[in-house]
Amino acid sequence: MKPEALFDDSENPEHSPAERSAVAARSTWVSVGVNLCLTLAQVIAGVFSQSQGLIADGVHSLSDLVSDFVVLFASRHSGKSADDEHPYGHQRFETGASLALGGLLAAVGVGMLWSAVHKLEDPATVQRVHIAALWVAIGALIAKELLFRYMLAATRVKSSMLVANAWHARSDAASSLVVGVGIVGNLAGYPILDPIAALIVGLLVVKMGWHFGWDALHDLMDRSADEHEVIAVRQTLLATPGVIGVHDLRTRKMGDMIVVDVHIEVDAAISVEAGHEIAVAARQHVLARHRVLNVMTHVDPRKLNEVDGAAIQQGV
């Protein structure tokens, strides 16, 4: 399953900014509680059982805790109304939060890699872990997988920031699985497998951080909406009575919304007022059917030919 930020909402009820903010806050506070307990349990158990992999996973959980507060901050500010300094609203707070999450994950992952490589350079220092570390790792795996499923269900409000945080939790579950395997290997007489597990966890964290950071960076650089969304918007415009053509359709992402600029073609024989009313209707149709923040329309006159006339008469 691949996280997606934008999609056609024409068949789904629209979620208000207040509802999205409430869902984000509720799911994130649950994540805060889980990650706080996991951080304490993993780090303490890792220290006493001498498991570097478990300590690394605990640090990963600590980074999750920090990222949860980043999400809470962004969800609170992204729902603010437009003002003079932000005429398009504050939706890009979510994109900025996703970028921060990516950077945080990458930094934590690099730290894990450094520590694991240092251990692997001197295998003699790797000690055998206590079996308690395995039970903690299994408990962490179950807790993180359940957290992922809960948070993914909360993404029904279509927030890329919540999607990112949910898949962050899934990466945590994967890392706990790797740590568990490393601990089993250590207990079976292969101590080197514990720091190797920590190394793999570090690579997973760096990869996830790069993915979310790079994706958010492109959104901040006015990346267009995905092709499916653009096609859906074009079809909605063309379905508006009086619109006989669409060109120069451009989109750019604004958080989880998009901004649209488009030229619509109308019959050159109608009045300016009639052309304006068609443009207003086209804009309203797009705003009602898609996750679009604003539509800037430019009306272009077009002389009708026989094909255009027949299409208009048929309601096409």
What residue spans of 155-259 are helical by DSSP H? 160-187, 193-220, 227-238
In a domain, residue 267? The reply is yes
Same domain (yes/no): 91, 216: yes
Q: Helix, strand, or coil here: 45? A: helix
Same domain (yes/no): 260, 304: yes
The pLDDT profile of the chain, 316 residues, written as one tens digit per residue, is 444 433 344 444 345 555 666 766 777 788 888 888 988 998 898 888 888 778 877 877 877 777 777 777 766 666 666 667 766 666 677 777 778 778 877 887 887 788 778 777 777 667 778 888 889 888 988 888 888 877 776 556 556 666 766 776 777 777 788 888 888 888 888 888 878 887 887 887 788 788 878 888 887 787 888 889 899 999 999 999 999 999 999 998 877 778 899 999 999 999 999 999 999 999 999 998 988 888 999 999 988 765 455 555 554 4
Q: Is the overall model pTM greater than 0.75, yes or no?
A: no
**If we measure between CA atoms, which residue out of 200, 170, 191, 220 comes closest to residue 51?**
191
Same domain (yes/no): 178, 248: no
Rg of the chain, C-alpha, whole Å: 26
In a domain, residue 149? The reply is yes
Same domain (yes/no): 176, 287: no
Same domain (yes/no): 236, 197: no
Last residue of a domain, one of 183, 201, 220: 220
Last residue of a domain, one of 220, 241, 263: 220
Same domain (yes/no): 185, 247: no
Indicate the number of domains in the chain: 2
Compute φ and ψ for 87, nearest 5 degrees.
-65, -20
36 CA to centre of own chain: 22
In a domain, residue 9? The reply is no
Residue type, 1: M
In a domain, residue 252? The reply is yes
DSSP secondary structure letters along 277-312: HHHHHHHHHHHHHS-EEEEEEEEEEE---HHHHHHH
For residue 158, the enclosing domain spans 17-220
Same domain (yes/no): 235, 188: no
In a domain, residue 208? The reply is yes
- CATH number of the domain within which 303 lies: 3.30.70.1350
In a domain, residue 4? The reply is no
In a domain, residue 175? The reply is yes
Residue 264 backbone zone (phi > 0: left; psi -120 to 50: alpha; other: beta): beta
CA angle 222, 102, 58 (to 5 degrees): 165
Same domain (yes/no): 84, 213: yes
Last residue of a domain, one of 185, 220, 255: 220
- CATH number of the domain within which 116 lies: 1.20.1510.10
In a domain, residue 273? The reply is yes
